[in-house]
């Protein structure tokens, strides 16, 4: 059985052994899970397109919404997962943080929007559409305002969060990924910009998404996979215009997501030199985020942060 024919299925290494992968390919497949959004597709593109030397390893790909990916990491079976920084404390016993592949907001980040202008405090006791309970955006928003009532609205399908705003299912929406770039053209009012608030509070960038790698792979395999992923990110950055054209051709259910100008702007924000290698201030910001959240009673106080090479 070839793992290429099962490219969208997810297997742990133990499961792969029972399926006979090792005896067939001579190596162990590495399972990847990442979001449907452009920044994740950007950094993993070279692995799908054969743009880098995978050094004898084969990679399986699964794409899902942010909340699903955070839940998959909780299971601890996927080798590499793109997750919310806010979800890491819950999976730290099973995963290491990778030093590349991050989404970092420098003075910008998720936005909270509503159908009409209002103050953030006016939303206390009201329903807020959020992309997931373990997302960084929700973790930060809770530090900005208490008493919000979360309603989880997955990021896929893309238009669902706007539909929930329009039909009154939620009173405001917390937008991540490309949604933060198109809310104005849809006529919504911005209530708060989380990256601006975070920078004013801490003087640091806002770390939003990270890639994590399963501890059970072992040191040698972790080092090898990390190096291949680093090469894939470098390939994407070096072939940026080419990759943008590929991403623009993807069908994601929303015409705006195929606009090359929007993709260019979005990738400039979230797939850049911070993605190539996490800067010291971004690493520090993760520690500060967890410390502040723990003091607010939103996270446990003993999160273990270990970095892969």
Q: Are residues 39 and 89 in the same domain?
A: yes
Q: How far is CA 72 from the centre of its chain?
A: 13
Same-domain status, 252 and 117: no
State the pTM of this model.
Answer: 0.89
Please indicate, yes or no, whether residues 197 and 267 belong to a single structural domain of this protein: no
Task: Answer with the one of 163, 187, 202 that is the final residue of a domain.
Answer: 202
Residues 154 and 246 occupy one common structural domain: no
What is the residue whose two structure tokens read 């955006």? Answer: 137
Say yes or no: 98 and 212 in one domain. yes
> Which is the catalytic residue, given 15, 61, 177, 239?
177
Coil/strand/helix, residue 148? coil
Residue 126: half-sphere exposure toward Cβ, Cα within 13 Å:
20
Among 4, 78, 80, CA closest to 44? 80
Q: Is 300 inside a domain boundary?
A: no
CATH of the domain at 180: 3.40.190.10
Residue 254: predicted pLDDT: 80
Q: Of 202, 229, 263, which residue constitutes the final position of a domain?
A: 202
Q: Is residue 306 part of a domain?
A: no
Residue ranges of the chain with pLDDT lower than 70?
1-27
Q: 186 and 219 share a domain? A: no
Do 198 and 211 sit in the same domain of this protein? Answer: no
Contact 40, 68 (CB under 8 A): no
Same domain, residue pair 10 and 77: yes
pLDDT at position 157 is 86
**For 199-211, how does the pLDDT look when each residue is reduced to its tens digit (9 = 90+)?**
999 999 999 999 9
264/294 Cα distance (integer angstroms): 36
CB 177, CB 189: distance < 8 Å: no
Domain stop point among 157, 179, 202 = 202
The predicted structure's pLDDT at residue 16: 37
Residues 255 and 189 in one domain: no
In the prediction, which pLDDT does 3 show?
34
309 located within any domain: no
Task: Judge if 217 and 83 occupy the same domain.
Answer: yes
- Asked if residue 301 belongs to a domain, the reply is no
Residues 6+ apart with CB under 8 A from 299: 86, 89, 139, 290, 293
Instruction: Please enumerate in sequence order all residues whose Cβ is within 8 A of that of 67, keeping only pairs 6 or more positions apart, or say none.
Output: 131, 132, 133, 134, 135, 152, 154, 155
Q: Which residue range is the domain that position 175 belongs to? A: 111-202
Catalytic residue status for 177: yes
Residue-level pLDDT at 4: 33
Distance, in Å, from the CA atom of 9 to the CA atom of 32, rounded to the nearest integer, reads 10
Q: What is the pLDDT of residue 27?
A: 63
Residues 83 and 129 in one domain: no
Residues 12, 39 share a domain: yes
């Amino acid at each position: 059985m070839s793992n290429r024919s099962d490219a969208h299925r997810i297997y742990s290494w133990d499961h792969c052994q029972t399926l006979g992968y090792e005896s067939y390919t001579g190596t162990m497949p590495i399972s990847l899970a990442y979001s449907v959004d452009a920044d994740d597709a950007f950094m993993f593109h070279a692995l799908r397109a054969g743009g880098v030397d995978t050094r004898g390893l084969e990679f399986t790909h699964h794409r899902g919404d942010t909340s699903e990916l955070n839940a998959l990491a909780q299971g601890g079976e996927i080798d590499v997962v793109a997750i919310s920084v806010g979800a890491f404390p819950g999976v730290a016993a099973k995963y290491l943080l990778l030093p590349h592949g991050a989404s970092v907001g420098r003075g910008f980040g998720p936005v909270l929007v509503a159908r009409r202008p209002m103050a953030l405090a006016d939303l206390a006791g009201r329903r807020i559409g959020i992309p997931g309970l373990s997302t960084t955006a929700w973790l930060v928003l809770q530090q900005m305002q208490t008493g919000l009532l979360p309603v989880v609205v997955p990021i896929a399908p893309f238009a669902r969060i706007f539909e929930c705003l329009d039909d009154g299912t939620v009173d405001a929406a917390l937008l991540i990924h490309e949604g933060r770039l198109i809310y104005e053209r849809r006529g919504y009012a911005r209530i708060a910009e989380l990256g601006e608030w975070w920078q004013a509070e801490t003087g640091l960038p806002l770390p939003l998404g990270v890639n994590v790698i399963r501890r059970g792979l072992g040191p040698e395999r972790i080092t090898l996979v990390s190096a291949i992923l680093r090469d894939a990110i470098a390939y994407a950055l070096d072939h940026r215009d080419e990759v943008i054209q590929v991403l623009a051709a993807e069908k994601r259910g929303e015409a705006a997501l195929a606009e090359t100008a929007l993709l260019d702007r979005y990738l400039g924000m979230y797939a850049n030199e911070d993605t190539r290698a996490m800067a010291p201030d971004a690493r520090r910001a993760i520690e500060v985020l967890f410390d502040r959240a723990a003091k607010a009673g939103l996270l446990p106080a003993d999160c273990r942060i270990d970095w892969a090479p």
